[in-house]
Amino acid sequence: MGTTAAQWAREELDALARQGLRRALEPLRSAQGPEVVVGGQRLLSFSSNDYLGLAADPRLAQAAARALAARGTGAGASRLMVGDTEAHHTLEREAAALMGTEAARLFNSGYAANLGILATLCGPEDVVFSDALNHASLVDGCRLSRARVVVYPHADAAALDGLLAAAGGRRRLVCTDAVFSMDGDHAPLQELAEVCRRHGAALMVDEAHALGVLGPNGRGLSEVLGVEPDVRMGTLGKALGAFGAFAACSAEVAELLMNRARPLVFSTALPAALCAAGEEAIAVMRAEPALREALWRNIRRMADGLRALGVPAEARSAIFPLVLGEPERALEVAAQLRARGVLVKPIRPPTVPRGTSRLRFAVSAAHSEAQIDRALEVLAALEVRVAA
């Protein structure tokens, strides 16, 4: 049994290997942090999205442990069955308060949230407009909505304006990342919001890589620019160091998501222990703006250091791409860095477009100045040159 599928798998894996695109898992032997142990080697890590350094914070672990002792390991069912607890409602209230919205609705992951939001709000009679560099979860959410999908050029509000003017459809929705995960650049949210207002379209923004990083309260790019999208997706698993995600939205949208969002309706609920960890993460982030201040000192230090090496870099997010071109080159440079104690995972297609394989440095508040300087020293010694 299974020989046909196994043969298909071998053929596909061989094809990936020939293209330098086959991947493999490497389990950590340590907690998440600026230094990790992989394969028996202690490495300085710049591959995590743990932007505020909360993933191994003992306060989150203790909050989860208390809930674990009280509630057990599993939720047992979906929230609409018997998987709902007060911990879920508390976390939703805290997420809404953090984002300054009327309501929030929990999902088991950012991927599930984007699938659920888009497929709930749009259908076959509608049109969804998606940035060309949106995250895979937004791309797949557009597909699952069964709406007509129009891809607009990256961060091009003028092009979107023309596409919206020419589109029909019962409802129109524009979706975009706030901070794009592979380049670290920002969506032009003010311009996008104005285009949406002019054409009567809704705006959905994925704040996954901006939440906890941008804004005086850490709400993300929307807060920085004074934009109020119809829906914002926020993840608990990046800067907040926990797990799960939420849609920050109106009470009506939250209610509709509970009734129609398939990843929510048909999935076992998040365990209460993870809800407790998320609640604690929000509390820590709101009480300690010094974490975000430390992150931004490190962002500026990394940007300055990269520019001194001749690498284009801007202090606009915690993400710094070194575009190298072909997958083999990204693998080679990643191996050279690793041999010198620096872990930066290579990013290859289909995560990024062909010809733009890269190393993606992600900076954390937990990195010390000496650790950032060490990574820069290794890059300088290797004389890494980015692709034109």
List Cβ neighbours of 99 (8 Å cut-off, separation of 6 or more): 219, 232, 234, 248
For β-strands 245-249 and 127-131, DSSP reports them as unpaired
Residue among 238, 267, 357, 367 flagged as catalytic? 238
CA Rg, the chain, in Å?
21
Sheet holding 342-343, edge to edge: 35-38, 41-45, 342-343
For residue 181, indicate whether it is catalytic: yes
**Distance separating alpha carbons of residues 246 and 233, to the nearest angstrom:** 6
For residue 250, indicate whether it is catalytic: no
Residue among 209, 267, 357, 367 flagged as catalytic? 209
Q: For residues 229 and 204, is the Cβ–Cβ distance under 8 A?
A: yes
Residue among 137, 181, 222, 267 flagged as catalytic? 181
Q: Name the residue among 307, 135, 105 with its Cα closest to residue 209.
A: 135
Q: Name the residue among 154, 113, 149, 159 with its Cα closest to residue 129.
A: 149
Alpha carbon distances (Å) from 154 to 176, 182, 187, 224: 9, 13, 8, 20
**Distance separating alpha carbons of residues 95 and 18, to the nearest angstrom:** 45
The reply to whether omega before 350 is within 30° of 0 (cis) is yes
Identity (one letter) of the amino acid at 304?
D
For residue 238, indicate whether it is catalytic: yes
- Greatest extent of the chain over all pairs of C-alpha atoms, in Å: 58
Residues 49, 152, 133, CA angle at the centre, nearest 5°? 20
- Tokens linked to 275: 């809800």
**Distance separating alpha carbons of residues 72 and 66, to the nearest angstrom:** 10
Active site (catalytic) residues: 181, 209, 238
